[in-house]
Amino acid sequence: MAQVVGHDVGQAGHRAVQRRDARPIPFALHGFAYARLSLPHHAAGASPRIGARLAMILREAGLQNVSTFGVQAYLPPDDPAAAALLAGVVRSLAPVITGRGIATAEQVGVATLEDRIAAELKRADAVLLPPTVVGAWAPNY
């Protein structure tokens, strides 16, 4: 039986999150993409992890009793949306990635990136976790 085991970002890059024996497995293109996506997001003035900080941001803005929730999807290795999502993010940030020297255009390989990610997802039997949809609210009293 397959089990979702979570994910982490370390010096080796991002790791895939699903394996039949419940151990994280290296996923090179996934790691390449995720390890290099934090830098261009920050260079573009965006935070890829803002949802996790949403309650703190709202409290800093003066709201009280802030509640949050998150919805997490799981994209199996044969779902074309998994590779399309990750490749689309990389494509949209490619000018920042290459312009800031994070990676060369050849390393990114935009023309074949989606196909390479799809193939590696299937090879690794990995489930992709897209960004969590986060919501927050505070009562008005």
- What are 41-92's pLDDT values in tens digits? 666 666 767 888 899 999 999 999 999 999 999 999 999 999 999 889 889 8
C-beta atoms surrounding 11 within 10 Å: 5
pTM of the predicted model, to two decimals? 0.63
**What confidence category does residue 36 fall into, taking pLDDT thresholds of 50, 70 and 90?**
low
Tell me, rounded to whole angstroms, the distance of Cα 35 from its chain centroid.
9
CA triplet 4, 133, 36: central angle to 5 degrees? 75
